Amino acid sequence: MTSAYGTCKCSQKLLVEIISVLNQEQKDAVEKAGFGSLLKLKDIEIRRELCKEIADSFDLDKEEFNIQENKVKISIKDVDHILGLPSQGDEIKEPPKKHVPGLFDKYTWNDSTKIHSSELREYLSKNKTYGDDFIRIFVLYTIGFYLCPTLQPYVKLDYLGLVEEIDNIKNLNWSSLVLNFLIRSVREYKEVKAANLKGNLVLLQVWYWEKVSMSHIYPTLEQPGGDKPLMQYWMQTSTQPSF
């Protein structure tokens, strides 16, 4: 297989660019909210053809990937090791269908119906405050461009319920939210033969790179000397296995 770089809504590069302009107070606020592991990410492109081949190997009935004739599942623990996001507490299968009118009015800005990713990015690029609004907007932007990206230029309003209580953000099981969204996206890709994959494709490809060697499937991502997030050790110049 010839791996090729592709473009899609999910972008670790864009997130790294935003993180690079944050001041120390903002980085401290991100750390306090439980998202400090993201501050360690490096620029890496998505190899879309590799991600599609991984997705094509997905067994819809067992929700497993068939890799080198082995059936392998992505676990919440795997996501925790790769991204370093909070993974304790109740599993989050979908964002809560909770209407939060105060936040809805505050973050829709010029559009009365949608939270546009471009406006979140503009806020983060220019604003130097580090209070509650900053954290909510950072998390929403991260959801829209990295954790649970779709192919749309906006963040679903359903996610407002997850950022309503600032002090509770760090207590939520974000790893489960990311994993469940990715698996639903892979399932949709297989079932309807979609042209593009949604979800955190960087997670999918790094999970594959961490899991697979030339002739071996690692049973766990818990490796000696490998501090979380494992994503921090991958960058554009790293050597990666093909499918």
The pLDDT of residue 120 is: 94
Q: Report d(CA 44, CA 147) in Å as an integer.
A: 15
Q: What residue spans define the domains of the chain? A: 12-233
Q: Report d(CA 17, CA 44) in Å as an integer.
A: 12
The pLDDT of residue 216 is: 53
Q: Which residues contact 86 (CB under 8 A, 6 or more apart)?
A: 34, 170, 171, 172, 173, 174, 175
Helix (H, G, I), strand (E, B) or coil at 186: helix
Query: From the CB of residue 162, how many other CB atoms can be counted at a distance below 10 Å?
Result: 21
The pLDDT of residue 243 is: 57
Q: What is the pLDDT along the chain (243 residues), one digit of tens a residue?
A: 333 333 346 788 899 999 999 999 999 999 999 999 999 999 988 888 999 999 999 999 999 999 888 899 999 999 999 999 999 999 999 999 888 989 998 998 877 789 999 999 999 999 999 999 999 999 999 999 899 998 888 999 999 999 999 999 999 999 999 999 999 999 999 999 888 899 999 999 999 988 876 455 555 566 545 688 999 988 765 556 555
Q: In what order do the strands lie in the sheet with 58-59?
A: 58-59, 64-67, 70-72
From residue 221, alpha-carbon distances to 79, 80, 208, 209 in Å are 10, 10, 11, 11
The pLDDT of residue 11 is: 84
Query: From the CB of residue 66, how many other CB atoms can be counted at a distance below 10 Å?
Result: 14
The pLDDT of residue 234 is: 87
